[in-house]
Amino acid sequence: MAPKPDIEKRFERGVFASRWLMAPMYLGLIVALAMLAIVLVRELIHYAPQVFSMSAEDVILTVLTLVDLTLAGNLLLIVLFSGYENFVSKLDIGETEDRPSWMGTVDFSGLKMKLIASIVAISAIDLLKRFMQIGDARPEEPFSEPHLFWLVTIHLTFVASGVLLALMDWLAARTSKH
């Protein structure tokens, strides 16, 4: 095989180095994670003093909101860690005991599945919150039947997308590599 021309080698090194353009995006995800943490703390500060006067349904809705925020934070961490390790550089943090077991093992296919599973869970929680507000005389966000229809339709679209992504990954794993 003939050696590559020098210009081609330099170009390929530049293409490879371009992965570092993703670093500011991961920094943005860290800021987004901090934003979620601030919103969670704000929600706790708002609702904690009211806990003794809240109905069971209101407490459940508050808890679902906190779970929703936590799932979104988990999603950000998964994308942040696995995306950085898959597309930019391996995290050199050593083998500390609190290192998540999945770090360094989630490939792009696994990242897609974790992403869609998190989106489905977040959508399901939002849908559950809306269903619990049916019949509530004072819903915080009033909704109509068409609104509820679209929430269910969007949720089912996420579920179907997840199933189809899993099917595509399963089929890809079964086919011989080219």
**Tens digit of each residue's pLDDT (9 = 90 or more) over 88-116:** 888 777 777 777 766 666 777 777 888 88
Confidence check: pLDDT of 25 > 90: yes
135 pLDDT tier (thresholds 50, 70, 90): low
Evaluate whether 158 touches 123 at the Cβ level (below 8 Å).
Answer: yes
8-22, 70-84, 160-174 — which one is most confidently predicted on average?
8-22
Share of the chain above pLDDT 70, in %: 89
Q: What is the pLDDT of residue 96?
A: 72
The confidence score (pLDDT) of residue 136 equals 66
- What is the reported pTM? 0.72
